[in-house]
Chains A and B, each alone.
Chain A
């Protein structure tokens, strides 16, 4: 396929043969504008979680790339995602963050829309329009496709995009680590009230690559490791279950999704965790025993940060959250972070996790604060004319990736890097940018879905 070998981006600005990427793709405003078209109108984007809109009329205002969109449940209970812009003159029809409503009324000229998107109210319809406006053609703009996957809600503007589960491919089993209850069942999760939203002065791809699997940035978090905020009282996460495990990076070249995972040796129990609170430790021990029993050998796998292409970040295990990196111009990103917990967990567990989530993640989080400083100044120091002439190095571990990886009888799909041996690798980062370059070059989903 032409797009896979050479294009302006594929093995051009994103030169994966040499392991080099031009700084232009981060700081160039024309490339940013192209990216909005090539990536954000065609990929599947995370919208929210079913627990945010349980009842008819419930809505949550979300975002897709630069666009504001409304996630809402109509009177019949069906979910929709609409562009949050009046068809008449563009005004936002909803400037609230969330709530419940029978109708969205534009405050500019008063067109109003039902929760299924239909235009139901037009002032002076009889006198000014002589009833000739075809209301059926002027409903809210709806996404081309919307899917709910294990409670998570996804949408795309492209009718030609493959169905979401096909878009995920074999990454599905890794995404499930973020969406299943702690005990491995489909018992519901819920979003804890309040989605954190904040601005970072950097291109959205800095955090996207970081969550794709930057296994090299321990120095960033040295201070939090020194003071210790982990749920067992040390480090930043519980470390024993990780110390017992083989640490892997897994990526899917044809999809652009990637994650870190930990795999316990065959027959090993999961180490105790959350020892700071006996009640929470008991909850997780019981959940983990059940998960291991249900999942069999696959239960040896636990999650670590990952990224669903292009801009949805996963933090499946500790602390559990999903983040979206919304582009806000080449030089700014608006982060939205949702925190997830078992809906049926006792208050003590929810409270403990909530406090841990806040002290780890987000702008107040002792861990995430240092990431944002690095992304901020990496970006600003890459904007100069001279700086742009010098590509970044993504050479770490090139050629060391494996396929058909197996550990004590457990087969791991995708392209695998063994970080227990290699200590660190940029394979997942290369995978992310390879896919990004394909999106930038490919004229349509015919080229992008070449697994078909």
Chain B
């Protein structure tokens, strides 16, 4: 059976995006923070809402709103650069000594590609993350959830233009969020 071109385009794009997300995770886990910053578009929106327990039928109130409410993160590149610079001071005690962190990314789905799957300049992606953090001696956190993101092609290089982080927790079980999602 002949495989249609559109399915091949989809497969190739999915592979390319997966490789990009894995390489991004590699930079974070190998603590190459400045190289990681290069993957972020200058106008990136990095947003991690908080989640409420709400009654059935009121799920529209489950998440705090971007640009309106308090979130765990709701920021652009400037603050992300400062977060990296803070780690690189060597006196950011919450990350000194550095945590051991492992990002797993899975369930990658291409939700949308514009203008086309064959020649995309912008791609909307959804995936799952599992972040393991271990620091000092026995301190361990697992953070699991979904990410929705928009990747943009800039001079042939993918950049992260939007990242919405959906953590599957209500009360945050980690004492702080000194790492990146």
Contact = CB atoms under 8 A, between A and B. Distances in A.
Partners in one complex: yes
A220 B86 CA distance: 12
A188 B174 CA distance: 34
Nearest to B48: A364
Interface stretch (A139-147, A260-268, A371-379, A436-444): A371-379
B82 interface: yes
Contact of B83 (A220, A226, A351, A366): A366
Nearest to A99: B55
Nearest to A200: B175
Given A99-B55, A99-B58, A193-B64, A373 B70 contact: no
A266 B52 CA distance: 48
Contact of B68 (A193, A197, A226): A193
A369 B82 CA distance: 14
Contacts of A223: 86, 89, 91-93
A203 to B, nearest CB: 14
B52 A359 contact: no
Given A223-B86, A354-B70, A364-B72, A194 B177 contact: no
Nearest to B137: A380
B52 A358 contact: no
Interface residues of B, number: 41
A223 B70 CA distance: 24
A355 B69 contact: no
Given A95-B53, A97-B53, A193-B65, A358 B86 contact: no
A373 B97 CA distance: 11
Given A96-B53, A194-B64, A369 B70 contact: no
A245 B151 CA distance: 48
A201 B54 contact: no
A227 B176 contact: no
B68 to A, nearest CB: 6
A306 interface: no
Given A98-B52, A370-B92, A199 B86 contact: no
Contacts of A194: 49-50, 52, 64, 69-71
A157 interface: no
Given A193-B68, A339-B70, A366-B82, A372 B75 contact: no
A46 to B, nearest CB: 17
A120 B93 CA distance: 54
Contacts of B173: 198-199
B39 to A, nearest CB: 20
Given A194-B50, A196-B50, A358 B71 contact: yes
Q: Give 3 nearest A-B pairs by CB, closest first.
A: A193-B69, A194-B70, A198-B172
Given A97-B52, A198-B172, 17 more contacts: A96-B52, A98-B54, A101-B55, A193-B70, A197-B170, A222-B91, A223-B92, A223-B93, A226-B91, A229-B82, A339-B70, A354-B69, A363-B177, A364-B48, A364-B176, A366-B82, A372-B176
Interface of A: 95-99, 101, 192-201, 219-220, 222-224, 226-229, 334, 339, 351, 354-355, 357-359, 362-364, 366, 368-370, 372-374, 376-377
12 contacts: A192-B70, A196-B72, A198-B173, A199-B172, A354-B74, A355-B74, A359-B82, A364-B73, A364-B177, A368-B176, A369-B92, A373-B176
Interface of B: 48-50, 52-55, 58, 61, 64-65, 67-75, 79, 82-83, 85-86, 89, 91-94, 136, 139, 170-178
